[in-house]
Chains A and B, each alone.
Chain A
Amino acid sequence: MSQTTVVTAANEPSIWGGGRSPYNVSYGKMMTWFFLLSDALTFGAFLIAYGTTRFFSAVWPDANQVFKAFPFLGEHEVPLLFVSLMTFILIMSSVTMVLAVHAGHYGDKKNVAKWLLWTIIGGICFLSCQAWEWTHLHGECGALWGAFTDVNTPVEEYRHFFGHKSLAFVDAHPLVAMQSSHNFFNYFFTITGFHGGHVTSGVIFNILILVNTVNGVYERRGHYEMVEKIGLYWHFVDLVWVFVFTCFYLL
């Protein structure tokens, strides 16, 4: 690097002249942002592929029909209720995470540990909900990757995924509806699975930083920046869920 420093009229070195961070962001935090950016593009590619497939399908399963079950309530008509609970849990765990980051700014070890623990509990609750939903869709609806490909499948097995307005079309073109059901569940399990994988790794990261916090690693280091970086990842996972929720359950 050149030794010349750009000197302004006020004899101040340029903020890009070296020796300090122009954006006042550490290397690790900046790279966390760039990693999340690349991850956002991956999730975006998945969701846009889903959108394209849905757009060119003549008929598509109705979320209000597919997702209407709730644990211990049987097959009652409670569309969207369970996924609303999942969304609430994830938003709540995002709040506890940001409170942990806040406590970290103040070097408050006890509160960092407390809020991290709540975040881990929230993450585990969310994963349990997802496990139930997958089990339900697989067990009671016969859905999983690669399901609904056999042309001899009776129409009753996938007719109930569709809304009332689509039923006439489904009965007239059952194989088109079966193909749509196949595509719908392939995308559903891939995208919620990829998201669930992120939640799982987020929970593991949170457990690691909780152990470090309790052991006083960050206290000795003088800052809780690692909590901040894992916090960014955790919020990103919540952010992705906001889009998954809209694409699969609302639109």
Chain B
Amino acid sequence: MRYAGHAVLAAVVLFLIGPFLVIAAAGLSAGDTLTFPPQGLSLKWITAVFGMENFRQSFVLSLWLAVGSTALALLFGVPAAYGLARYPVPGRDFMRSIVFTPVIVPGIIAGLALLRHAVIPLGLPVTTALILAHTVLVVPYAVRVVTASLEHLRTDVEEAAVILGATRTGTFFRVVLPNIRNGILAAFILGFVTSFNQVPVSLFLTGPGITTLPIDMLASMEFVYDPSIAALSALLALMSMAIVMIAEKMLGLSRYV
């Protein structure tokens, strides 16, 4: 029985980590085609990636998109989470489910719907469309993580501030915000990673010349078959893991999700 359990566990771990190891190994290949096992080891593709102009551009766009849309999502998400947590808003459960729908609805549907019924009719520029879509995608994470950290803050602490003379707004900035700071940081990191790695929605909304890094990689794979994509994938995976690990160390990220 115990051996069976260990076997299942090992299989799961292999299944989760295996693809990453394969990609990482392929990216370290010394050969000129994407193969596994790699033909010798070298860092040449890793270094080559940094010199590719198109990837550099889409990387910068992805970065701005992730930072901008997460910041916007927090601007809406933090007050929303606070309102839902503290006030007897009518239809509160319904609103919670609405806020969480972007997590449930498949990205491909959301992307198509946005394109057909918002971007095209309104004639939105590509970057605006991307920002809006990513903001919508990140809001659920912002609301959820901030809600979790609001639950750690007792409401009587806010009442104490009011009784000592603070207004409701003053209380929010003097007492609530400093105490959910870590939650907001955690939400930011999750939102950043979510936006940065986003594929299905971006797929519909990116246009010629303006594209996010994952979409750019997808496109270039169709006609380039060298290990540069594997090298870049491994680098991105490492970046995401590093961000989340640092966040876990500093904030205890897993408490919020």
Q: Do A and B come from one complex?
A: no
Report which A residues bind B (CB closer than 8 A). none
Q: Measuring CB to CB, which residues of chain B are less than 8 angstroms from any residue of chain A?
A: none
